[in-house]
Amino acid sequence: MQIGFDVGGSKIAAGIVNKNKKIIAKRVIPFPQGKPYQEIVSTMVGMAKALAGDVEQTLAEIRSVGVSVPGTIDRQGERVIDAHNLGFHDVPLKEALTLHMPEMEVRIANDANAAALAELHAGAFRGCRTAVLLTLGTGVGGGLILGGKMFNGGLGHGVELGHMCLQFGGPLCTCGNLGCVETLCNAPWLIRQSSQATDAKMVIDAAKEGDVAAKNIFDRYVDQLSSAIVSCTNLLDPEVVALGGGVSLAGEFLFAPLREQVLRKSFFHHPYKIVPATLGNDAGIIGAAMLAINEAEAARI
Ligand SMILES: [Zn+2]
């Protein structure tokens, strides 16, 4: 078994994941916003010890802990370079955790990578060699499975599917470029097009109920998202494309037209398997816990 941490801007969730990739113990606390990272690390160590106690094990017996962080990790997988939601900037997270838990092997990953890894071991990507995960929320994140394991970039920087260009000269992105996938496929895009909606679900629900203006917005969204997915299918010819995040909860109302458009637009006109990500809120914990296994498999390959 392994411990997985899903550290997010609103909460820290941690769990023990057994060899069947199931969470057998879980603890969640609000994220201590504004506290120095050392204090957050102490809290995490306390959670790890409590979880070990929950399953009547010691940390030395569990040995491995993984952490999913919504931000950029250095190429060595040791420091959090930037995680804006956490207020983490150049935080030596691995070193700090190892200092308090020397008996544990600590691994850190970006949250989108962890989510893709979770889907590989326990969700929509089981048995896949090549798969793409896109999370459609406030931002657009993405993770890749290549050769049957999580792919963190050839040089180890990571992959940024949300910052591929979708519209040359398009809207300004948080990264400073214009027309990134994120600017046209995130949830705020849906809200911005509407005169009344305060969240993306309102637009989607109105479109489902037949509101013409909302349906037009939603159709444009599907058009944009399908083009982003086609860039992925043309590049990788993946076995599965899974979508997570709030917008994916639109269900078949989103997936049915998306599949049809990807079939039409993709070079091979293949009916690519496009499905909802299956792990939802547990993806971070499971993916973080699976980092040790991913590393072992990478070494074996
Ligand atoms: Zn961007």
Domain positions in the chain: 2-115+281-300, 126-278
Rg (CA), the chain: 19
Predicted pLDDT of residue 9: 87
- Establish whether domains 2-115+281-300 and 126-278 are of one fold: yes
Predicted pLDDT of residue 293: 87
Contact criterion met (CB below 8 Å) for 80 and 268: no
Burial of 110-138, coded b for 16+ CB within 10 Å and e otherwise, reads: bbbbbbbbbbbbbbbbeebebbbbbbbbe
Contact criterion met (CB below 8 Å) for 290 and 4: yes
Q: How far is the CA of 126 from the centre of ligand 1 (A)?
A: 30
Burial class (CB in 10 A: 0-12, 13-18, 19+), 159: buried
Fold (CATH) for 2-115+281-300: Nucleotidyltransferase; domain 5 (3.30.420)
Both structure tokens of 203: 């637009």
Predicted pLDDT of residue 287: 96
Q: How far is the CA of 9 from the centre of ligand 1 (A)?
A: 21
Average pLDDT, the chain: 95
Predicted pLDDT of residue 280: 87
Q: How far is the CA of 153 from the centre of ligand 1 (A)?
A: 17
What number of helices (H) and strands (E) belong to the chain?
11, 13
Selection from 148, 144, 145, 224 nearest residue 180 by Cα: 224
The half-sphere exposure of 148 on its side-chain side, counting CA atoms within 13 A, is 8
Q: How far is the CA of 1 from the centre of ligand 1 (A)?
A: 37
Q: How far is the CA of 181 from the centre of ligand 1 (A)?
A: 7
Q: How far is the CA of 72 from the centre of ligand 1 (A)?
A: 14
Q: How far is the CA of 232 from the centre of ligand 1 (A)?
A: 16
Predicted pLDDT of residue 180: 97
Q: Which residues pair with 150 in a beta bridge?
A: 145
Q: How far is the CA of 251 from the centre of ligand 1 (A)?
A: 26
The segments of the chain whose pLDDT lies below 50 read: none
Predicted pLDDT of residue 301: 58
Pick the CATH number of 126-278 from 3.30.70.60, 3.30.420.40, 3.30.1360.40, 2.102.10.10: 3.30.420.40
How far is 170 from 157, CA to CA, in rounded Å? Answer: 25
Contact criterion met (CB below 8 Å) for 208 and 253: yes
